Structures are given as structure tokens and as C-alpha cells.
Amino acid sequence: MKIYFIGICGTATGNVAILMKKLGHEVLGSDRGMYEPMKSALANAGVAAREGWEPDRIGDFSPDLVVVGNAVSRMNPELEYVLARPELAYTSLPALVGERLIGRRPSLVVSGTHGKTTTTAIAAFLLKGAGANPGWLIGGIPADLPEGGSNLGDPSSPFVIEGDEYDSAFFDKRSKFIHYRPRVLVVNNLEFDHADIFRDLFDVKRTFTHVRRIVSPLGAIVENGDDENIASLESTPWVRRLKVGFGGGCDVRISGFVQSGESSSFRLSGFGVEKCVEWPLAGEFNARNAAMAIVGASLAGGFANPLAVPADCLANFRGVRRRQEVLLASAQVVAVEDFGHHPTAIALTVGSLRKKYPQFKIWACFEPRSNTAKRNVMQDRFARALASADRAFIGSADVSKVAPELRVDTSAMADLDPSKIRAFESNPALLESLESAVRAETAAGGKVLCAFFSNGSFDGIHRRFAEDFKRI
């Protein structure tokens, strides 16, 4: 089968293209701006990817199927070429994944506003550690899965996938996870996000209600038992539900969390089992991610007890790139990169960094890059989350595609707490001011941890900062 991907360089799209190549299909794709690390990943997998949009390329390739990436919309020259030719079949990426990669395999679908990537990586790591050969599709680069963010695995083993609530394609506004046929559905948490897609929290709840309705009666829903928004969703008498959390009413309870230097530990109890986990990841929210993954992996892996999957391997789990990833660690300066797409996630990360680095001042640097962050709908919440740090530096936002009345105002964000927050016209200007302030702080004997929050490139200033201060 010959498959053409329009918009191949996205993390999910590129990984799926690689898996389709491994299945024996002939694959070609295109994108505008072939960027790393996916550019090299595609090349290493032998997947042909071309720069720019050239409709004649599709005609020359004569594909059996065209996959339209999530970011592709009308007026894209290649898309218009496809739509003008009824003989060319096309589909969305999530539909392809559901039909061709998951198929009849038991799927473990990890959903929620925060923690999807980390929890999916943990679940795949656990199943692999238990001797299974799972497939997976992860929206990031896991440090401990040498196969990378995607793996076919054995067709008889579970398929673990990050279940995003974002829409599927320009022609399919259903959430991606609707296509993934969940045997086991993990719901980490539920908050308002993706302001370009959803109107409000009620709208987000609606799509999570829809996915719960299609969970297999042979499977289960594993949900955050401490989340009020999840608790407010309709009941699901057709499928087993297990609550995981710190509260006393949870089926699996997390307790005894301790953050100690470079590691943390906690206990899990339920169903007649108690597990003690010690691992390198920081924060109670990561302890919850691990607990959800353990229960989800146990159920998807066919274990009789929801806590049965062996978890000792987590002592060697190092996480996912861009999730509290340490870029620099010196005696006086630490630099950390984090995805930072939502105010709750930023506040939780700042809190965990304080516990892990108690001798350091925490300075937060934020690039409003996501479609939600570019809008003013959460402007004040982002500002309050950033103000939980000792100082905050807000970079530039490209709001050209946002209606003027909806655009984020970074100066107004800074005005909410001017003693802590500064906004800059450009990311290079932020870097210049940050480096000057860090030099002054360290010259006076202080220690600074700079956390760079962005779901984009931040114009590379986080890596330039790490390089500039690596000798301090």
C-alpha cells in the first residue's frame, strides 16, 4: 500500500509514518519547515519526507491513501489537489491509527489535560518490563524506550497510546481519542484547555463523556479519584471504573509521598496489595501519573489484580524529554525545560522544583506558544501560576492568527504582579535580561534555577542559556 502524509513532521504524524513504513507500506510525506528531531527520525527510518507543498508530487506518487495531518487546513495546495480528485482516498491521522495500528489489539488510551505523555511512557515501560512486547504511540521522546516514541510491538500485545482530546482533522472535529477504541481508558485529570477548539469546561466534559461511552465492557476506566470535574461526569454502569488518588475513597490510594534530593518515593495500596515505589521523578503529580500507569498497564496487560504489574523497574525510569528535563546543573545555576502548556501544570512544576531544589531561587520563563496561551481566556491564571515562582519572565507571543479582542496581553499579565513578572517584546530580549539578572544573583552568592516553559521552540533561548552558563 502506498501512503502519502500531508504534514508529516509533527511528532504524532511522523511516528505513525514510521510505523506504517515498518508494516511494509511505501510511505512519502511533505511538510513546510522540516524540523528536528522528527526530520532525523524520519530519515533514520527510511521514510521519504519532502520540504514544501507540491501537488504534482502526489500525482507522481499515486498513493492508495492520503493522510491529512491535524494542522493541515483548506487552501493547502496539496490538500486542494486531493479534494479535487475523487479517486484519491483520504483520512485523518487518528482514524488511520485506530484502523491500521490498534485494530483488534487491546488498547490502553491515556487521556487528560495534563500528564498524558509521561503516563503513556510509564505504562509502555511497565509492560515492557513485565515481559510483554507492547505497541505504543507517545507524543514525546521517552528517555528509557530505545525504540523511541513509537513501536509496533507484537500484534497480540496491548497498544498504549496518548489519547488527545484535540480535534482529529479539518473535516473531523471529534476528539482524537474517539478513534482509539479503548479497552482501558485512563483519565488523569480534566480542566478547560484548547480554547481554540472548546468553548468552555462544559464543552471539554462533553467530549470526555463521549469517549467513556465507547470503552469496552471487557475493560475499565481508570480515573483520578481526587478530580471534581471527573467526578461530575455521568455514570458508566456498562464498564468497571477504578478511582486512583490520595483520597480515602479511592480504590487505589497513593500515600507517604516523600521528595528527597534526586529521587522521590510513595506507596500504593488497594485490592489486597501494597507497593512501594522509589524513582527519579519529582512531584506528587508524577506519583499520580505512575499510579495511573500501574493500574492501566495491569488491566491492559491481562493481570488479574489492578496492582499486579511489576513496578521495580521504575527505579530506572528517567521520564520524557521536555518534562522537567535538566539542561544544565552547576553549583549555582540550573536550567530546566518543561512543556508548560497550562497554568495548572506550570504551578505544579514550580512547586515540585522548589522541593527538589530547596536552596535555589526559582525563576520561571514562559513563552505563550499554545493556542490557549495565545488567547486571553487564561491570561490571569497563567500570570498567577508564574507568580508562584520567585521571578517570572514572559516572552513574545505570535498572535497574528488570533482575533484582536481574543489576544493575550503579556503586559497586562506582568501588571498583575509587577514585583515578580516582566514581559518582553522578543525572546532574545528576555534572554538578555535573564542572563544579566542571573549573573548579578550568582555574583552575590545566590543560586538560581531557571525553568523554561513552552510547548514550542522558545527560539532556542533555553539551550543558549544553558550553553552560556555551563562553566559557572
Q: What is the pLDDT of residue 472?
A: 63
Ranges under pLDDT 70 in the chain: 319, 321-322, 471-472
Contact 106, 134 (CB under 8 A): no
Q: What is the pLDDT of residue 401?
A: 84
Neighbours of 23 (CB within 10 A): 13
User: 54 Cβ partners below 8 Å, 6+ apart?
Assistant: 30, 77, 78
Span between the terminal Cα atoms of the chain, in Å: 55
Q: What is the pLDDT of residue 205?
A: 95
Q: What is the pLDDT of residue 410?
A: 93
